[in-house]
Structure 1
Amino acid sequence: MTDSMFQPIQLGSLTLKNRIVMPPMTRSRASQPGNAANDMMAEYYAQRASAGLIVAEGTQISPMGQGYAWTPGIYSQEQIAGWKKVTDAVHAKDGAIFAQLWHVGRVTHPDNIGGEQPISSSALKAENVKVFVDNGTNEPGFVDVVEPRAMTKQDIKDVVEQYRQAALNAVEAGFDGIELHGANGYLINQFIDSEANNRDDEYGGSIENRLRFLDEVVAAVVDAIGADKVGVRVAPFTSLNGTVDKTPVETYTAAARVLNKHNVVYMHIAEVDWDDAPDTPAEFKTAVREAYQGTIIYAGRYNQEKAEQALAGGLADMVGFGRPFISNPDLPNRIKHGYPLAEHNPNTLFGGNEVGLLDYPEYQA
């Protein structure tokens, strides 16, 4: 039975045609110089517009927010125009698309941010983390991240304002809404997780203090574009990019309450997705459902059966399928009819051209 996945759902003022989400996935194919979205990206997302909701790949809110080579931004007029091509192409195929607003904080290298030192909640280097830079070839060149400097109060104000402006830019570019990237060890996550934040001011220490930056960013973007256009992604149990929290159930249940206070339209929870990773505790999913009244999206290692169970059990309202969407542009149709899924080629995920981006065919019965 795949009926529950194909029920429409209301998301703010949008009526989505199914419960299947294409989550954000970095593909590093923005036009250079300028890091602007382009025709190739527009075609890629349009091919996948049968998803109930597309969340586009992370797009940096400022030059300092960039973690990897060739990722798109959303702070210049050229970038807004590039994204407009994408949103127009998706809307022409009756799709819905949110922008994911991204600041990587310490998960970068000076080569990606104009020679500057990265910024973070604290002057703590992410251990054993690499990012890729443009080393003059078509292949991404991986390098170690460097130690960041701790953000001042003025830095915090400035970055909150950059998020606010990026949300306005996203709406100008035709996006149906935005998702704040608060997951996977990037800047917002670096404030939230206890082991990445050693501040001794009102942004560090207690859970309430570590959630303050998230709270302020959410308040700013909600004020700018409206709560019905704002979603937030978190990753409570991952240690991606070196961020770990000592009490994730407590911390992220509190985060759910913050998001509920602001009435954001969805909470997107990235589960650990490596092969032998532990499952997200059931009591956490129940606690989040009680703490947050909006739409809840889960993503990570979902197949059709797991997705059906999550929806039927009432703990999820929508489910994201990441890598399967790369190689199956018609994924909802394949799920609906039980068609086999194609495997993606891991060598063409980042950088390059149309190969591995646009050349995965729809299923021919």
Structure 2
Amino acid sequence: MDRPALPAIPVVDIGHGGAPALLKAARHQAEGLLLQARRTFTPPVLRLADRLCARWLERNNTPYADELRALQTEAGPGALALNLSHQWACTAAAAPDAPDSVGRPGGVTLLRALDWNMRGLDLGRWLVVARMRGPAGAFLSVTWPGYAGVLTGMAPGRFAVALNQAPVSGPGLLPLRWLGDRRRVWSSDAPPPDHLLRAILETAPTATDALHRLREAPVCVPYLLTLAGVDRAEAWVIEKDWTGTRIRQHPAVAANHWGADIPCHPRGGNSRGRWAAMAAAVEAGARDFTWLAPPIVWPATRLAVEANAHAGRLQVLGLDGARRVTARLALSETPSLAA
């Protein structure tokens, strides 16, 4: 059971306001996170990183460039660097639900553990959930104040999604492959995948529409994405790399390596072990965070999520490795909020 002393995860309603509105609505969490970032990396280092990110942003086609510039002005050193430092791991699955007690088919539950090995930042502690809205309806983002993209989100009545970092391309020596990948990112004008994911949550009316658009849309860096719709058949993993896009099911499980033995250098700790553990949890029908155990949980784990768009249910835990740093958040959103 959760200890009463654990802080609650704030839920803030920002509508169409975007990242600047979220920064203002969760000022306490924003100031705590930025203060830790400046103590860990120092303001001069963060200013240099911000300048590099600003140069890249000048030629990038992200629809949220103005939000990022406003954040840089409002939040100060580190705002751009933290937004564009895509250095996380993760394990996720789209797990079809069993029929209910009277035989009605269930939906799909997104199971998600996000790992971010950024030492010195209590990322689990500063979590917020933002209620946002776009042309296709309302959605929830499990995020941090001042973050413009979406890494984990649920649109009630439509779909839930989780973004994982892709492996370093391979084969070949890891340092050389990593440098080659970074050069491609620096020269790309396509938006980051977390910005694409937010745009999809804002505008895609169904999981099938989201799948088609994610398959075709260009991004500046490869990614893995888990997509869970409202029907048991709507459970997919999307793998997008420099060569194209692959759609995987049965099981729809993602860690930080490509499937089908495609050569790569996996990210994070024990990627293949995490994948196997999550696949076993899906097979066993694990829910209510019973799947949250090693190797899925490791020292870099910062949050865990269960999201069911069919029922409009979202559960979130803030973590520091295996240690809980927030109380469990349980939300029930009306699926009819979707357009």
Name which structure has the greater RCO, CA cutoff 8 Å, separation 6+.
2
Q: Which has the higher strand share?
A: 2
Q: Which has the higher helix share?
A: 1
Q: Normalising by structure 2, what TM-score?
A: 0.33
Q: Normalising by structure 1, what TM-score?
A: 0.31
